[in-house]
Amino acid sequence: MVEPRTDSGSALTKLWPDGRTALEGIVHDGMLLAIGGFGLCGIPEALILALRDTGVRNLTIASNNAGIDGWGIGLLLQTRQVKKMISSYVGENNEFERQYLAGELEVEFCPQGTLAERMRAGGAGIPGFYTRTGVGTLVAEGKEHKEFDGVTYILERGIQADLALVKARKADLHGNLIYRRTARNFNPNAATCGKITVAEAEIIVEPGEFDPDEIHTPGIFVHRLVLNPNPEKRIEKRTTREV
């Protein structure tokens, strides 16, 4: 278990100076990661960069997608640090396509709702669940089938990641997180399914400043926290029209 740092021996804080130090001692080759985000919305940019710079390899990453060429998880693909992706959509990444077709990258396609539930189930201590999604398709191959009330379901396993990386709009020093609008996406589920969870936030406040009803991820799930006040907000696909 990762021990939180203390501020001058008084207030309990999970804040670390930067992504590099926050990942020290908790990343290693061959680990399974859950990473929040949807496209480029709500991805933990600073932590992905820090993960790349650690040089760890043979990673399995559960994430809705693989970012784009040159950004997000795409950075880890460029440096050949990813062995396997568990994803729903990968259509915006040419390097992903190249590695997959060349047999250099293993891919487990997972329907989007199923992936979200696999993370949520793992975080709730549920080893598996049955779903109708994917029955009769390649997704169902090799999985247990079971009938309930005359309807066929397949068994999907919950995901318990060695490490989860997530992005929040606001956090307090105890690790309570608030996401911003659609950046909420996969982040809450990823945060709960990590044995260790590291979060980055654009704003960090003192404990007690949040209304408890506004908190999306309780701090009990977050072990380390970094501040990223000026994230680089890229647009995944720009569509324009003449006025």
Average pLDDT of the segment spanning 99-114: 95
pTM higher than 0.85 for the full model? yes
Q: What is the pLDDT of residue 239?
A: 84
CATH of domain 28-130+159-227: 3.40.1080.10
Q: Closest Cα partner for 209 from 169, 173, 181? A: 173
Q: What is the pLDDT of residue 108?
A: 95
Q: What is the pLDDT of residue 1?
A: 47
219: left (phi over 0), alpha (psi -120 to 50) or beta: alpha
Q: Closest Cα partner for 187 from 69, 45, 3, 71? A: 45
Amino acid making up residue 35: I
Average pLDDT of the segment spanning 122-127: 97
Average pLDDT of the segment spanning 175-184: 96
Q: What is the pLDDT of residue 42?
A: 95
- pLDDT digit string (tens) for 217-241? 999 999 999 999 988 888 777 888 8
* CA dihedral over 80, 109, 106, 123, signed as positive or negative: positive
Q: What is the pLDDT of residue 242?
A: 85
Name the most confidently modeled range: 1-15, 39-53, 221-235.
39-53
The structure tokens listed for 34 are: 């859950």
